[in-house]
């Protein structure tokens, strides 16, 4: 059952120590009795407020701040002083707060992390300290950690290497685990693996907080990652470990090496793929067609692009297509053009989707650009994960629009400035026929006198619910089929099912409901995959409910 907020907690901390603990601090919500019992009288102003009153005051102050970054900083101050209030503020208006604690504002926060940092949160594990990782993880305050988000800061959104500033990403992601799925904040731990940075602006910044060194590469880097994973496994054998914003050259190999060693996944590869697949499944259902009959042009051949393609390929196979038939529906491009089998610079994932040059009869010799690819392939689905703003030109969009009544066009790169096209452009160039979802938030579209929300394929639709399901059922591994189940679970919630003119995805304010549905789909698949203990169907909801924390103050009594 959900947490009983009426039961008194026995607290040993007193005075300033209690007020300095963000998990236990209530600020002005400490009652007169509690203030007397815990030595707080005189440390706090006379007024006693409820949580609702605190939320009202905090929200009013937040709304008056001039910029998203200023609001992000204020929210982080709340998080570091009073986590219950922080999450109550987020829950009060998730639609408004999500872009502040995560994309797009978190990108600017990572760039300016060294200037805005105030209080410790999480762990910074630096390469020079690599022989003491286990010691750093041994703090008794971390005994109840159940989910970790870790980055090395090398590929932060579309902004590149931010070094130690990349810590903003794990902090933001874990905030969404709590706000969207109810994972209690004391169960979460953000970690930054500081391997140096190749961003000279960061290294030369006198305020830079990280290790001032070029990035560690090769065998030394691999050994550092291995030492980290070994220490995590020894400290928390059942933890869920999420890899976040690693460069493509490292992301896929790390996932492949450790996916069967502990309960782990890479959100950029698998989470992005699942939310994109869920949105595309919803869009394809609206068109009344099978995915195996669609032609997909994937713009961007990094870990995210390959991850999305792999999951969509599996959807086609589930629809009855053979491996070769499904792969024939994909055309993947990067900065050098269409991936073909005569290129020598492709990794294993890219090679899977490379086209046979001999089969491209009548196509241009040499590099084949995006426009030629779209036109000759007769694309019906166009997905961008290139990180290049404006890459989808009017000519390219119109070419896709010629192939079908309702083209699916997803510019998924973020932050907003890196989107391949804006929703307004896409709708203008397709005469309002396209099914669109973006990677970053955009304002509503105004067409024909009406206003419509722009869908955002935000990973928050997937990873919080998956994490909730994994922890609820005690899964020991994260399987690819669990991501497929999560994608299908998300697709079932599409507003398009009830309204042909509706959105592809539920509104952001429904993310808690989405997380619960995704959690249930994840648990059911984990049982099928036999990666969790055996239990009865009726226990699924009970297990999920038991994991879900809500921001509410509990009464305290002194130890």
DSSP per residue, 282-303: HHHHHHT--GGG--EEEE--SH
Alpha-carbon distance of 421 to 445, in angstroms, equals 14
330-334, strands of its sheet edge to edge: 337-338, 330-334, 296-299, 381-384, 408-411, 435-438, 455-456
The pTM assigned to this predicted structure is 0.92
Domain boundaries 269-559, corresponding CATH code: 3.40.50.720
- Identify the three-state secondary structure at position 260: coil
Alpha-carbon distance of 398 to 425, in angstroms, equals 11
pLDDT of residue 6: 67
Alpha-carbon distance of 468 to 471, in angstroms, equals 5
Alpha-carbon distance of 471 to 106, in angstroms, equals 26
Alpha-carbon distance of 349 to 306, in angstroms, equals 6
Alpha-carbon distance of 171 to 187, in angstroms, equals 13
Kindly state the DSSP code that residue 415 receives in the 8-state scheme.
S
Strands annotated E in 418-549: 435-438, 445-447, 450-452, 455-456
Using the CB atoms, write b or e for 348-374: b if 16+ within 10 Å. Answer: ebbebbbbeeeebeeeeeeebebebbb
Residues of the binding site for a divalent metal cation = 244-245, 268
pLDDT of residue 274: 96
pLDDT of residue 1: 38
Alpha-carbon distance of 144 to 258, in angstroms, equals 22
pLDDT of residue 212: 97
Structure tokens at 414: 């973020």
| pLDDT tens sequence across 12-26 | 999 999 999 999 999
Residue 331 in contact with residue 379, Cβ under 8 Å? yes
Look up 461 and say whether it is catalytic. no
Alpha-carbon distance of 283 to 494, in angstroms, equals 9
Task: Out of 102, 177, 258, 553, pick the active-site residue.
Answer: 102
Range list for CATH 3.40.50.720 in the chain:
269-559
Look up 173 and say whether it is catalytic. yes
Alpha-carbon distance of 413 to 386, in angstroms, equals 6
Alpha-carbon distance of 92 to 56, in angstroms, equals 9
Residue-level pLDDT, tens digit, the chain, 559 residues? 345 556 889 999 999 999 999 999 999 999 999 999 999 999 999 999 999 999 999 999 999 999 999 999 999 999 999 999 999 999 999 999 999 999 889 999 999 999 999 999 999 999 999 999 999 999 999 999 999 999 999 999 878 999 999 999 999 999 999 999 999 999 999 999 999 999 999 999 999 999 999 999 999 999 999 999 999 999 999 999 999 999 989 999 999 999 999 999 999 999 999 999 999 999 988 888 899 999 999 999 998 999 999 999 999 999 999 999 999 999 999 999 999 999 999 998 999 999 999 999 999 999 999 999 999 999 999 999 999 999 999 999 999 999 999 999 999 998 888 999 999 999 999 999 999 999 988 999 988 888 999 999 999 999 999 999 999 999 999 999 999 999 999 999 999 888 888 899 999 999 999 999 999 999 999 999 999 999 999 999 999 999 999 999 999 999 9
The reply to whether CATH 3.40.50.620 applies to domain 100-261 is: no
pLDDT of residue 322: 97
Task: Out of 112, 173, 177, 258, pick the active-site residue.
Answer: 173
Alpha-carbon distance of 29 to 20, in angstroms, equals 15
C-alpha distances in Å from residue 358, one per residue of 195, 336, 364:
43, 18, 12
pLDDT of residue 2: 45
- The most distant pair of C-alpha atoms in the chain lies apart, rounded to whole Å, by 84
C-alpha distances in Å from residue 448, one per residue of 90, 137, 443, 533:
33, 57, 16, 54
Residue 144 sits at φ, ψ, to 5 deg, of -100, 20
pLDDT of residue 303: 87
pLDDT of residue 204: 94
Q: At what angle do helices 480-491 and 272-287 cross, to 10 degrees?
A: 40
Range list for CATH 3.40.50.10380 in the chain:
100-261
pLDDT of residue 497: 87
């Amino acid at each position: 059952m959900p947490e009983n907020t009426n039961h008194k907690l026995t607290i040993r901390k007193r005075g300033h120590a209690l007020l300095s603990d963000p998990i236990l601090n209530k600020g002005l919500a400490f009652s007169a009795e509690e203030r007397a019992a815990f030595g707080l009288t005189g440390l706090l102003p006379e007024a006693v407020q409820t949580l609702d009153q605190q939320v009202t005051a905090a929200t009013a102050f937040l709304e008056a701040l001039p910029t998203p970054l200023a609001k992000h900083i204020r929210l982080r101050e709340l998080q570091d002083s009073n986590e219950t209030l922080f999450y109550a503020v987020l829950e009060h208006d998730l639609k408004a707060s999500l872009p502040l604690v995560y994309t797009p504002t978190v990108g600017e926060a990572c760039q300016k992390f060294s200037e805005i940092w105030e209080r410790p949160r999480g762990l910074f594990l630096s390469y020079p300290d690599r022989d003491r990782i286990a010691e750093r993880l041994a703090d008794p305050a971390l005994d109840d950690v159940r989910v970790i988000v870790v980055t090395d800061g090398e590929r932060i959104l579309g902004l590149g290497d931010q070094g130690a500033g990349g810590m903003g990403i794990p902090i933001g992601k874990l905030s969404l685990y709590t706000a969207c799925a109810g994972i209690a904040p004391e169960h979460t731990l953000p970690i930054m693996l500081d391997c140096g940075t190749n961003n000279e602006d960061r290294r030369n910044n006198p305020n830079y907080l990280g290790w001032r060194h070029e990035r560690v590469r090769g065998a030394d880097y691999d050994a550092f990652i291995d030492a980290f994973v070994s220490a995590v496994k020894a400290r928390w054998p059942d933890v869920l470990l999420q890899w976040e914003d690693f460069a493509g050259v490292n992301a896929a190999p790390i996932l492949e090496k450790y996916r069967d060693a502990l309960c782990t996944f890479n959100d950029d590869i698998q989470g992005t793929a699942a939310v994109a697949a869920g949105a595309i499944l919803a869009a394809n259902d609206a068109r009344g067609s099978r995915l195996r009959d669609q032609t997909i042009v994937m713009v961007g051949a990094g870990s995210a692009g390959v991850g999305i393609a792999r999951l969509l390929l599996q959807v086609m196979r589930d629809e009855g297509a053979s491996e070769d038939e499904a792969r024939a529906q994909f055309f993947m491009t990067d900065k050098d053009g269409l991936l073909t089998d005569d290129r020598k610079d492709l990794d294993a994932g890219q090679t899977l989707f490379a086209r046979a040059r001999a089969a491209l009869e009548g196509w241009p010799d040499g590099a084949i650009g995006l426009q030629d690819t779209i036109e000759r392939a007769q694309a019906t689905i166009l997905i961008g994960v290139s990180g290049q703003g404006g890459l989808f030109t009017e000519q390219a969009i119109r070419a896709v629009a010629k192939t079908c009544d309702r083209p699916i066009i997803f510019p998924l790169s973020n932050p907003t400035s890196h989107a391949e096209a804006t929703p307004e452009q896409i709708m203008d160039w397709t005469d309002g026929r396209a099914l669109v979802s973006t990677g970053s938030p955009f304002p509503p579209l105004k067409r024909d006198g009406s206003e419509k929300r722009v869908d955002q394929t935000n990973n928050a639709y997937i990873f919080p619910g998956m994490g909730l399901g994994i922890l609820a059922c005690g899964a020991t591994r994260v399987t690819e089929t669990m991501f497929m189940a999560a994608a299908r679970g998300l697709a079932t919630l599409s507003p398009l099912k009830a309204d042909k003119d509706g959105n592809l995805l539920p509104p952001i304010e429904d993310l808690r409901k989405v997380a619960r549905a995704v959690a249930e789909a994840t648990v059911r698949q984990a049982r099928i995959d036999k990666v969790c203990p055996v239990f009865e169907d009726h226990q699924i909801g009970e297990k999920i409910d038991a994991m879900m924390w809500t921001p509410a103050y509990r009464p305290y009594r002194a130890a």
